[in-house]
Amino acid sequence: MTHATDVHQHIWPEELVDRLRARTRPPYLRGWVLHTEGEPPYVVDPTAHDAQARVDVDHEAGVGAACVSLSAPLGIEALPVRDAAPLVRAWHRGVAALPEHFRAWASVPAVDADLDDLAGLLRDPRFVGLQLPATQLLTPGAWERTGSLLAVAEAADVPVLVHPGPVPRSVGDRDVPGWWPAVTGYTAQLNAAWWGWHAAAVRADFPALRVVFAAAAGLAPVHHERHVIRGGTAGPVDAGLFVDTSGYGPRALDAVVRVLGIDALVLGSDRPYAEPVAELFGEAATRAVHITNPARLLGEQARDTEDGPRAGLRKEAA
C-alpha cells in the first residue's frame, strides 16, 4: 500500500528543460549538464525527471503523493523579472500537467511578484502552497519584506516551503567538492531563515500561516539552547512550524524531535537527490511523519484507506 505523502521532491517538466537549454547565462543546461552561478557543473540523470519513472519508485517506497517544487538553488527566482517570469510560468504549466500522483509548490520571481496571479494559482488544487528560497529570508527584515507573499498564502490557507536557494561563489575561489554547497551554504541559509522568522516575530502578524523548512531547517532547532544562553528568550513550540526530513538521518532528526516534538516533522525526501526515510523511531512515529503530520501541514484530512492520504489531499477549487 502506498500511504505516505512526500512534501519535498523535484522534477523538471519538459518545457522548463527546453527553456533552460535555450539560455546562455546561468542557470542553463547543455544537454543534461547543468550550469549555475555558484555550484560546479552537474550531470543530470534524465530518468530522474521522468514522471512515470518517479511514480513507480515512489510507489515502491510507499509514497502515494509527492509535492514537487522548483529547484530554488538554480536561482531562477532571483533573476531579473523579465528572465524569471517565463521560467516560472513554464514550471507552473509543466507541473500542472503531471500525473495525479504529483502536486506542486508555486514559485514567484523575487522582484515584482504578481500577487493576483499567485492567489489564482493557490486556488488550483494542483498547487499545495508557495515555495520561497531561504536566500530571500535571511534576516528579520527580509521576512518583513516578504509579508505580502505570506499574506496571500495565509489567505489561501496553504503553507509556505522554505527551501535553500543559490549559493554565491566569489571570483577566484578554488573549485570545491560537489557536496560543498549542500553541507555549508544550504544549511547556513536555512539556519538564518529559521532565526529570522523568530527574531521578526512573524507569527504575530500571520497567526494562521503554516511554514515548513526543508532539510530540518539546517538543524537550526538544535541551537535553541544556544539561543537562550546568548540572550534569546525561550518560547513554546510553534504548532504551525514544520521541518522536513530531507538530508538527514535518525541521529540528527532525533535531536530535532527532542526540541520540537514529533508533530513538527514531515516526510521530505528531496528526490531525485535522496531517498525517503522508510522508518523513524518506530511504527507510531513513522506513521506521524509519513501521513498525519503532512496532512496537517497541507491543511488536509488524512485518510486511513487503501488509497492512502491521496484522496484526502484533494481540494475543491474555489
Interatomic CA distance for residues 22 and 30, integer angstroms: 9
pLDDT of residue 265: 98
CA dihedral 197, 83, 156, 98 (to 10 degrees): -120
Segment 73-100 mean pLDDT: 95
Percent of the chain whose pLDDT exceeds 70: 93
Please report how the helices 115-122 and 147-156 are oriented relative to each other, as an axis angle in degrees rounded to 10.
30
Burial 194-222 (b: 16+ CB within 10 A, else e): bbbbbebebbeebeebbbbbbbbbbbbbb
Concatenating the DSSP letter of every residue in 291-305 gives IIHHHHHTT-----S
Q: Report the CATH number of the 4-313 domain.
A: 3.20.20.140
pLDDT, tens digit, for every residue of 250-274?
999 999 999 999 999 999 999 999 9
The strand pair at 160-163 and 211-213 is best described as parallel
DSSP category for residue 273 = S
Residue-wise pLDDT for 277-303, tens only, equals 988 999 999 999 999 999 999 998 644
Residue 1 pLDDT > 50:
no
Mean pLDDT value of segment 11-17: 95
The CA distance from 19 to 29, in Å, is 9
How sure is the predictor about 170, in pLDDT bands with cuts at 50, 70 and 90? low
